[in-house]
Chain A
Amino acid sequence: MADREPVIGIDLGTTNSVVASMQDGTPTVIRNRGSSNLTPSVVALSKTGKMLVGQIAKRQAITNPTDTVYAAKRLIGRKFSSAQAQDAMKVLPYTMVAGEHDDVRVQLGEKKYAVAELSAMVLRELKADAEAFFGTSVRKAVITVPAYFNDGQRQATKDAGRIAGLEVLRIINEPTAAALAYGFGKSVNGKVAVFDLGGGTFDVSVLDVSSGVFDVIATGGDTYLGGEDFDNRVIEWLVFDFAKENGVDLRKDRMALQRLKDAAEKAKIELSGAKEAQVNLPFISSPAGGGAALHLQRTLTRDKLEELCGDLVAKTISICEQVLDEAKVKPTDLKEMILVGGMTRMPKVVEAVKQFFRRDPCKGVHPDEVVALGAAVQADALTNADSEVVLLDVTPQSLGVAVAGGFVRKLIPKNTTVPTSVTEVFNTSKDEQSTVKIMVLQGEAEVAHHNELLGEFILTGLRKAKRGEVEIDVTFDINSEGIVSVSAKDRETGLQQSIQVTASGGLTEDELRRILDEQADMLLEARSGEELTAKKNELKALMAEVEELLPKLEQSTQGSEFGKDAAIKARAALDSARNADEGLLLAKVIESIDVMTRTIGLFKGVLDRIK
């Protein structure tokens, strides 16, 4: 077994990354060549034009703020125009520019780097550390991402692995990895919750663990909530008071901002152990017109920090509530509660978690290392036939297709165990429609353009018919590697089209909305039972109203040609509405609703005039 090719697990974190591997049946962290377990996820271009990665890059950040990239994870797979990237731009000292597909690029010196490229540099460093440890080349890895990463972010992370020369066996969720590491080799039996508050992201997962089987029941989180946000609160506080006293906005000075960031993070960490921390930044600013340099000196108390960040902590708890609810689990049903991520060292976080889960969190795991260890467990499970571990993972977000009216029809709800496949029947939404466009969306929003577009394709050559008459089977399939394929099939002709979803071209919300508007004529119509029933009820109510008004109208327009004519037309409309009500076609029902509404309007108008 010792001859087996080594496989590694990598926790590619927002602030720090860790690599681990299975050693003699135990997951173990591999130290980097600087003999530290953690490698800062920092990349920099030095003044001499050399690329620096890890600790060495972090160390020179203060003197080289604009060419030092940290927190790249917050940008990976994001669109440049997204609110998150735009927000990040305000606090990050390096320069971000838009790429061709509205992706984020980072300007270092003369060159623009894709975020995946920068992450790849960190991964390459970790790969080299592992190779130094094993003394042989390492090619295969499992990489973790926050559970709430969407498909685009996962694909971008996979790309980073590929750029770094790694075959990414699987992308797994961080909280799941933590549970794997926690439950590995123990005879745990029961439900376990993982609370993972890291540098940039927050995740909660609930798993059902039974001797080697790790069954994820529900997962949720926020990809933009983590230690960096806590730091930013402290920075804001420092900057605001400094501006009040000295009239200088330190955020405009990139070097000052970098020093503030370091100081804020340091003070925050200190306050996990102490009640007070000093922030001391001499010569933080020198006035433009000369004169004495300004110094920043403040005392940050734990109470103040908790006050500044209270809402962030509250947000994590409300997400916990939601996820437990989705898992149909009460805090008291849980066997164990695992804390992961550096931020879970903050006393306020521990206190809030304790209060919500009504138990002390498990102390047996190392919050910084547990994720990488879990990745190593999964890497071993995938390559070692003797492994006892099986991971039953779920889809973190819902998947569906865009339907007429700008809505989403969800085919695979979030927290569905993979692999899975679902088929649903759709109808054409327009008369004579010979083409349908299948737009695959990911997210929880009802309105189509608020979701992420994963991919799209067209099915042509449909029989020309009235709307709603042509039926199309749409099938979603997710395999155990999390790869989504979608196919559409014309029931009559057997014509079929399909795609395997890969990273999207990077469309903005506006673009997506525009495209959806333009293609409104080509969308599908959901033949959802609920919708049909609802519309039928609406139609029935309208029909009853017409039936009630009809005799009144006949009475008041007695004898007149107009009255007779209107009554005949209304009767015909009622007949066709009855037909629609008995049929199954949503389009027909909606059409009749239109007719009934117009008839009622007409009747009321006539009756009003006569009165």
Chain B
Amino acid sequence: MAEGETVDIPQERQAEILALEAKLKATHFEVLGLAPGATSEEVRSAFHALSRKFHPDRFHGRQLGSFKGKIDAVFKRLIEANNVLTDAEKRQKYLDENPGLRGSAGGAGAPSAAPAVKTADEEARDAERRARFARHPYLARASRTQEHITKAKAHIAKHEYSHAFSLLNIAAQMDPQNAEVKALLNDVRKKNDSQRSETDLKRAEELVSQGNDDLALQALRAAVNANASNHEAAYKAALILERKGADVREITGYAQKAVDAAPGRVEYRVLLGRLLDAAGMKALAKKHFEEALRLGPDHPDVKKHVKKRWPF
């Protein structure tokens, strides 16, 4: 502070500004007065609280002298810290560059070794303290992860995979290194996809019976996307597309998917054969027709399409 300068800012606020100015080079967390690893919500609210005090507008029209530059520098620094820590991408990059700032779930806060003898009173106080600790956002993370896993398992047991999936997803975000979460997530993702795929297929069947081909097609596409081995959905999609006179390549794509997922189904082979035949790929078509004939010589589709065309 320059001597003899008149500055129209209360003494204590001046001191706060100087204290923040001294922290300009500190980490983004420290500048905002937060512990490393503070969540983006915590960052935002700390930033807002500091804005209320240090936004240059709070000093509008006042005599500021050398504090004008200080306030500007301090506030720009606060904005920078907030920008980095509340933007998922920038935050990740910053934490990758400064791994020490991630903030950890365990370790740091473990209570020191207990004294040999404890009175009941002390015991109760400790319990209370532990509970408070567990509720603390950083420490709570580990216990919350565990909680999510337990809940997710209960849902898995009831075959409610989409619930389980979202819980595990949250758990994975809270604790990306947890191997159990990873394994469960992988498994549930598959089950969830195939469950969703089945539901979509059922919906599509209903829609077809109502004559709504467009919506049915949407559902079937979703079904195939969710689970590429849902051959029934792929087959039905191909049939509807054929009926609508869609692009041959797309129809053939679905027919191929159906055959890939269930190579032993006669009707899939026949359909694919027909499509390939129509597209001029006679040799490939022949292969599928022959396979169909071998698999089910008496299948109605074979009788209808193959025997007529393929007199062997």
- Taking Cβ atoms with an 8 Å cutoff, the residues of A that contact B are 169, 208, 210-213, 215, 381-383, 388, 390-392, 417, 419-421, 479-480
Contacts and interface: CB of A to CB of B under 8 A. Distances in A.
Interface residues of B, number: 17
Given A390-B52, A390-B55, A479-B56, A420 B61 contact: no
Question: Chain B contact residues: over half helix, strand or loop, or mixed?
Answer: helix
B57 A479 contact: no
A460 B264 CA distance: 80
Given A213-B48, A417-B83, A392 B76 contact: no
B57 A381 contact: yes
Contacts of A169: 60-61
B45 interface: yes
Given A392-B55, A419-B76, 14 more contacts: A169-B61, A210-B45, A382-B61, A388-B52, A390-B55, A390-B57, A391-B57, A417-B83, A419-B56, A420-B76, A420-B79, A480-B55, A480-B57, A480-B75
A480 B56 contact: yes
A390 B56 CA distance: 10
A308 B83 CA distance: 43
Contacts of A480: 55-57, 75
29 contacts: A169-B60, A169-B61, A211-B48, A212-B52, A213-B48, A213-B51, A213-B52, A215-B48, A215-B51, A382-B57, A382-B61, A383-B60, A383-B61, A388-B52, A390-B51, A390-B52, A390-B55, A390-B57, A391-B57, A417-B83, A419-B56, A419-B72, A419-B76, A420-B76, A421-B76, A479-B56, A480-B56, A480-B57, A480-B75
Query: 3 tightest A-B contacts by CB?
Result: A213-B48, A480-B56, A382-B60
A383 B75 CA distance: 20
B304 interface: no
B278 to A, nearest CB: 41
Contacts of A391: 55, 57
A417 B48 CA distance: 13
Contacts of A382: 57, 60-61
A117 B209 CA distance: 70
Contacts of B48: 210-211, 213, 215
Contacts of B58: 390
Contacts of A383: 60-61
Contacts, number: 46
A479 to B, nearest CB: 7
Nearest to A478: B76
B182 interface: no
Contacts of B83: 417
Nearest to B56: A480
Nearest to B88: A328
B56 A392 contact: no
Contacts of A417: 79, 82-83
B44 interface: yes
A275 to B, nearest CB: 33
Contacts of B60: 169, 382-383
Nearest to A140: B61
Given A213-B52, A382-B57, A390-B51, A419 B44 contact: no
B267 to A, nearest CB: 43
Point out which of B44, B51, B72, B83 has the most chain A C-beta atoms below 10 A from its C-beta. Answer: B51
A379 B61 CA distance: 12
Contacts of A419: 56, 72, 75-76, 79
A390 B58 CA distance: 7
Interface string B27-55: 00000000000000000110010011001
Contacts of A211: 48
A1 to B, nearest CB: 16
A215 B46 CA distance: 13
Given A388-B52, A390-B58, A208 B44 contact: yes
Contacts of A392: 51, 55
Contacts of A388: 52
